[in-house]
């Protein structure tokens, strides 16, 4: 028998362990766990926190800017109009590329890594007040790559900002690592006085970038700029001065974004300073307008014609598209003229290229019979017809003219301002064209023309201007010596002359009308004067400083227009037929030809003087309502009375020439844009020919609500003055610009 003392005296003896319920281990037992388990858990926790930090730290924004910052890193704020902070751009060579041992040696340009912009987002967000989200706005972009180009364009940048007509933006896209503040300081730019939006659009590691990456960074920067700003135009330096990768990138993106580029020619920034006075609407239309020069050469005119050709060739066309040249030659061509035309190259080319084309068009007259004033007018006006009425214009030049080298800059400047500007386009609907000539006489060729002075301007801010010989003005008189006529008005003139000739031939024989225009000038001038008086149209005549003009009309080789030669006039070579009888012509002519004119021949504006310094008011072009207005008689007329005078003459013209009946009470004839058919009646009138008298007439296809103008009126910011709608508004803008 076994003793009981061998086993413990425990009543639980013999029970299984799984009969007991499990208990939670006390905290002390956990702390007494092996050390290796605590280290593993702590390590995994730290690794998880680090990975989460790295993930958040490396989230990139649209422009390459990262959220958050590395502890201890320096926060920098790029130049702009915001206090938004961003991470400092990495310095030194990119990963995998060693810097050159010689510090003076240029860094290796082989890096092709991802493109990031650390500073661009800040300035783009800071320019939100410029309404860049609108496709039509007032944003103008100056894009710069090389330091040499910066020294050329920055003075133009600040000058445009001074005139306060645009939101001016400057984007730096080069490889140089110089800080933006330092670059501006080197060029003497005071950011407080030069009110401009500055954008550092250089990618990271720009100085190490390969050509492919540098070009891609320009394209990427333009994508961001286009999205935020929608600039209306990009202005760059001459392609010879700029980096090749920058030019390729800009041209590629400009074509894709339909963004016009203006290239300032080498050493021509001073001559192009006038573009700083234009608004974004004008600059956006830089490449739209085309000009054709039309010259009608008389008999035995080789001396004057060659002088005119030479002045055209010597003019300054750098940075501009030269005009096309159309010459109407007489039946008999003298040998000097023929030899000169054989060697005439147009446009003038600075580089000899076998692919260069000659843009001169010669038209030779076959018939030797002298023409009547009516036939001569038709033949002349048929010499040109615009392909696009909104962009194709014609410059008429007399063989007696000699042009200033700056004539084309003047035409381009005025054309962009008064035809395409967002400020002035809606005010210039009654503008027929732009004259280069300032004639000394009225249309009769005898009475002197008294050119308006600063005191005659319709705005008091001009009255005290000093050193101005004459101010620009509007005159209800055509010009045949040197004047640019707008394409849409030229089409309307064709419509007028077509109906005018038909009405003259259909109606019974009447007494000829009194001739207003002198026989010194071609016969078509009389018809154009009628057209201008019925519509209230006018030409813009130039102002002068120190008596220097844009064109000189010489007297020594003057030729009387062929259509006004009488039987007593000596026969000229090649003209064997006698002139037709003029008794049935619509206008009375003198029995004997007038004496040759004796005009004052003023000096020309020299090429050494920039255009803006040769024009009154520091090169600023006054607005249409502020210009003096002269009737064809030279009498001054308040601008608000122009429409009343035109409607009075048009009513009389319809009755006496157009064959129309009186208009029913409360009605008036409906005017169709681009047509003059409302001035003539061929039969019974119907209801569609009339409209209510209180309806707003639309005399010009351009005279409609301009979305750009509306946006300016409704979204004014302190940076840009509102569109001048009164004398007070304009005075504020002009005073600030002159300050």
Q: Are residue 640 and residue 659 in the same domain, yes or no?
A: no
Q: Are residue 374 and residue 471 in the same domain, yes or no?
A: yes
Report if residue 394 sits inside a domain.
yes
What is the 3-state composition of the chain as percent helix, strand, coil, each rounded to the nearest 5?
35, 15, 50
Q: Are residue 573 and residue 659 in the same domain, yes or no?
A: no
Q: Which residues, 6+ apart, have CB-to-CB distance to 54 below 8 Å? A: none
The vertex-558 CA angle with 541 and 324, nearest 5°, equals 60
- What CA–CA distances, in Å, run from 618 to 163, 411, 491? 11, 17, 35
Is residue 336's pLDDT more than 80?
Answer: yes
What is the mean predicted confidence (pLDDT) over 627-632?
A: 96
Report if residue 471 sits inside a domain.
yes
> In whole angstroms, how large is the CA radius of gyration of the chain?
38
Task: Return the structure tokens found at 137.
Answer: 């706005």
Q: Are residue 380 and residue 529 in the same domain, yes or no?
A: yes
What is the mean predicted confidence (pLDDT) over 188-216?
A: 94
Q: Are residue 603 and residue 616 in the same domain, yes or no?
A: yes
Report if residue 433 sits inside a domain.
yes
State how far the Cα of 360 lies from the Cα of 312, in Å rounded to an integer.
12
Domain boundaries, position 687: 645-692
> What is the CATH number for 238?
3.40.50.2000
Beta-strand runs (E) in 211-346: 233-237, 261-264, 290-296, 324-329
Largest CA distance in the chain: 176
Q: Are residue 169 and residue 184 in the same domain, yes or no?
A: yes
Write down the pTM of the prediction: 0.80
Report yes or no: 315 and 403 within 8 Å, Cβ to Cβ. yes
Q: What is the pLDDT of residues 17-35, one digit of tens each?
A: 445 455 555 545 544 545 4
Q: Are residue 521 and residue 638 in the same domain, yes or no?
A: yes
pLDDT at 254: 95
Report if residue 76 sits inside a domain.
no
Q: Are residue 242 and residue 257 in the same domain, yes or no?
A: yes
pLDDT at 507: 66
Is residue 1's pLDDT more than 50?
Answer: no
Buried b (16+ CB within 10 A) or exposed e, 455-479: ebbbbebbeeeeebbbbbbbbbbbb
Report yes or no: 290 and 386 within 8 Å, Cβ to Cβ. no
Sole residue written with tokens 């890096």:
111
pLDDT at 90: 83
Q: Are residue 297 and residue 257 in the same domain, yes or no?
A: no
Parallel, antiparallel or unpaired: strands 167-172 and 197-200: parallel
- Could you write out the DSSP letters of every residue in 552-564? EE--TT----GGG
pLDDT at 494: 96
CA 135 centroid distance within chain: 16
DSSP 577: S
What is the mean predicted confidence (pLDDT) over 74-94?
A: 55
Report yes or no: 662 and 689 within 8 Å, Cβ to Cβ. no
Task: Return the structure tokens found at 35.
Answer: 């050390």
Give the bridge partners for 549, in sequence order: 604
Report if residue 49 sits inside a domain.
no
The neighbour count for residue 546, using CB atoms within 10 Å, is 12
Q: Decide which of 269, 299, 320 is a domain's last residue.
A: 269
Q: Are residue 473 and residue 532 in the same domain, yes or no?
A: yes
Q: Are residue 199 and residue 308 in the same domain, yes or no?
A: no
Q: For residues 366, 370, 374 and 380, what is the CA-based torsion angle, rounded to 10 degrees?
A: 40
Q: What is the pLDDT of residues 631-656, one digit of tens each?
A: 999 999 999 999 999 999 999 999 88
State how far the Cα of 586 lies from the Cα of 524, in Å rounded to an integer.
12
Report if residue 596 sits inside a domain.
yes
Report if residue 160 sits inside a domain.
yes
Query: Mean pLDDT of all residues in the chain?
Result: 81
Q: What is the pLDDT of residues 222-239, one digit of tens each?
A: 999 999 999 999 999 999
Report if residue 113 sits inside a domain.
no
Q: What percent of the chain has pLDDT over 90?
A: 54
pLDDT at 81: 44
The CA-to-CA distance between both ends of the chain, in Å, stands at: 129
What is the mean predicted confidence (pLDDT) over 412-429?
A: 90
Q: Are residue 240 and residue 225 in the same domain, yes or no?
A: yes
Report yes or no: 536 and 430 within 8 Å, Cβ to Cβ. yes
Is residue 731's pLDDT more than 50?
Answer: no
Q: What is the pLDDT of residues 105-123, one digit of tens each?
A: 778 888 899 999 999 999 9
Task: Choose between 59 and 76: higher pLDDT.
Answer: 59
Domains held by the chain: number: 4
């Amino acid at each position: 028998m076994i003793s009981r003392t061998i086993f413990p005296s425990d009543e639980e003896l013999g029970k299984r362990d799984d009969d007991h319920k499990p208990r939670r281990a006390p905290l002390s037992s956990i702390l007494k766990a092996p050390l290796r388990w605590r280290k593993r858990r702590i390590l995994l926790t730290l690794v998880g926190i680090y990975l989460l930090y790295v993930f958040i730290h490396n989230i990139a924004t649209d422009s390459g800017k990262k959220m958050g910052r590395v502890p201890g890193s320096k926060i920098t704020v790029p130049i702009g109009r915001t206090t938004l902070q961003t991470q400092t751009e990495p310095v030194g060579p990119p990963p995998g590329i060693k810097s050159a041992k010689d510090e003076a040696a240029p860094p290796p340009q082989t890096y092709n890594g991802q493109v990031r912009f650390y500073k661009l987002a800040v300035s783009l967000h800071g320019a939100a007040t410029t309404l860049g989200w609108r496709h039509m706005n007032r944003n103008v972009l100056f894009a710069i790559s090389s330091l040499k180009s910066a020294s050329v364009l920055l003075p133009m940048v600040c000058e445009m900002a001074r005139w306060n007509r645009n939101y001016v933006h400057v984007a730096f896209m080069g490889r140089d690592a110089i800080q933006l503040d330092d670059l501006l300081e080197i060029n003497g730019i005071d950011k407080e006085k030069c009110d401009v939006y500055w954008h550092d659009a250089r990618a990271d590691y720009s100085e190490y970038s390969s050509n492919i990456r540098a070009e891609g960074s320009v394209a990427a920067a333009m994508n961001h700029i286009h999205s935020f700003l929608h600039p209306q135009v990009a202005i760059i330096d001459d392609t010879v001065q700029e980096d090749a990768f920058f030019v390729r990138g800009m041209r590629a993106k400009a074509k894709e974004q339909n963004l016009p580029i203006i290239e300032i020619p080498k050493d021509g920034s001073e001559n192009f300073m006038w573009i700083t006075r234009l608004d974004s609407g004008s600059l956006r239309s830089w490449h739209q307008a085309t000009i054709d020069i039309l010259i009608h050469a008389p008999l035995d005119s080789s001396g004057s014609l060659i002088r005119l050709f030479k002045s055209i060739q010597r003019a300054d066309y750098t940075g501009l598209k030269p005009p096309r040249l159309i010459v109407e030659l007489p039946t008999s061509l003298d040998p000097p003229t023929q030899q000169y035309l054989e060697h005439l190259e147009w446009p003038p080319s600075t580089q000899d290229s076998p692919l260069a084309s000659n843009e001169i068009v010669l038209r030779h007259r076959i018939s030797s019979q002298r023409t009547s004033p009516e036939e001569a007018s038709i033949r002349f006006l048929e010499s040109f017809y615009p392909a696009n009425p909104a962009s194709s214009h014609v410059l008429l030049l007399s063989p007696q003219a000699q042009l200033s080298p700056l004539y084309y800059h003047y035409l381009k400047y005025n054309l962009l301002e008064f035809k395409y500007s967002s400020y002035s386009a809606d005010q210039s609907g009654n503008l027929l064209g732009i004259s280069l000539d300032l004639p000394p006489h009225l249309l009769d060729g005898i009475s002197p023309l008294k050119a308006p002075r600063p005191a005659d301007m319709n705005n008091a801010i001009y009255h005290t201007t000093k050193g101005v010989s004459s101010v620009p003005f509007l005159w209800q008189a055509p010009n045949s010596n040197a004047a640019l006529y707008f394409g849409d008005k030229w089409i309307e003139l064709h419509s007028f002359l077509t109906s005018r000739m038909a009405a003259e031939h259909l109606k019974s024989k009447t007494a000829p009308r009194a001739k207003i225009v002198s026989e010194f000038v071609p016969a078509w001038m009389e018809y154009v004067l009628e057209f201008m008086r019925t519509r209230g149209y006018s030409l813009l005549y130039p102002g002068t400083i120190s008596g220097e003009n844009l064109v000189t009309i010489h007297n020594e080789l003057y030729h009387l227009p062929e259509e006004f030669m009488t039987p007593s006039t000596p026969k000229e070579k090649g003209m064997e037929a006698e002139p037709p009888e003029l008794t049935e012509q619509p206008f009375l002519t003198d029995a004997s030809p007038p004496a040759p004119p004796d005009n004052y021949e003023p000096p020309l504006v020299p090429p050494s003087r920039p255009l803006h310094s040769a024009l009154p008011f520091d090169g600023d072009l006054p607005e249409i309502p502020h210009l003096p207005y002269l009737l064809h008689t030279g009498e001054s007329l308040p601008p608000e009375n122009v429409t009343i005078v035109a409607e009075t003459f048009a009513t009389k013209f319809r009755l006496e020439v157009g064959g129309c009946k009186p208009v029913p009470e409360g009605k008036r004839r409906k005017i169709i844009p681009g047509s003059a058919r409302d001035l003539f009646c061929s039969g019974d009138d119907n209801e569609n020919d009339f409209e209510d008298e209180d309806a707003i007439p639309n005399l010009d296809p351009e005279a409609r609500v301009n979305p750009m103008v509306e946006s300016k009126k409704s979204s004014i910011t302190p940076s840009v003055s509102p569109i001048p709608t009164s004398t007070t508004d304009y005075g504020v803008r002009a005073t600030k610009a002159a300050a």
